Amino acid sequence: MNYYMKIGVVGKPNVGKSTFFAASTLKKVDIQNFPFTTIDANIGSGFIRIKCVCKELNKQCNPRYGFCTNGFRYIPIELVDVAGLVPGASQGKGMGNQFLNDLIFCDCLIHIIDISGSTNEKGEIVEINSYDPKKDIEFLENEIDQSISRAIVKY
């Protein structure tokens, strides 16, 4: 199949990345309540469903990617569920360099966050609400930025 885009599923360890991946691709993957369950990236495919304009325009559409049925466009995408990233990943912490490499050919990323605040930055279980999930957004974006800027300098 021709995929419209490749999407990386990212986040710190133990936040539900593989759960989201399994739900989106219907693939069976390892899901456990501890950090670093996933080491080797899981790769699968799925569809993004959006409302198509064909009904409104009263036209039969013929999409380049995927298909259109009953006024809904199904856009085929490839999903990559990678191992969890911790602060310092772009400098190799927690095998971060290897895990970030799995994202190199992704067109965009989905960041999975444990909004309940019950996992610390390493994905270890802590009391609910005791960890501020905003910290995850900051550190993960920073690690991704660092990793991209290193790759640009290298090549």
Contact of residue 32 among Mg ion, ligand GTP, none (CB under 5-8 Å per partner type):
ligand GTP
Residue facing ligand GTP at closest CB distance: 16
- Residue 65 binding result from ligand GTP, Mg ion, none, given CB thresholds of 5 to 8 Å by partner type: none
Query: Which own/partner contact pairs does 138-142 have at CB distance under 8 Å and 24+ positions apart?
Result: 139/12, 139/87, 140/10, 140/11, 140/12, 140/85, 140/111
Which tokens in the block code for residue 135? 């910290």
Least distance (Å) between residue 61 CB and Mg ion:
37
> Does 14 engage in binding with Mg ion (CB under 5 A)?
no
From the list 33-41, 72-80, 92-100, 124-132, the region that binds Mg ion by CB under 5 A is: 33-41
Computed over its alpha carbons, how large is the radius of gyration of the chain? 18
Q: Which residues bind Mg ion (CB under 5 A)?
A: 17-18, 37-38
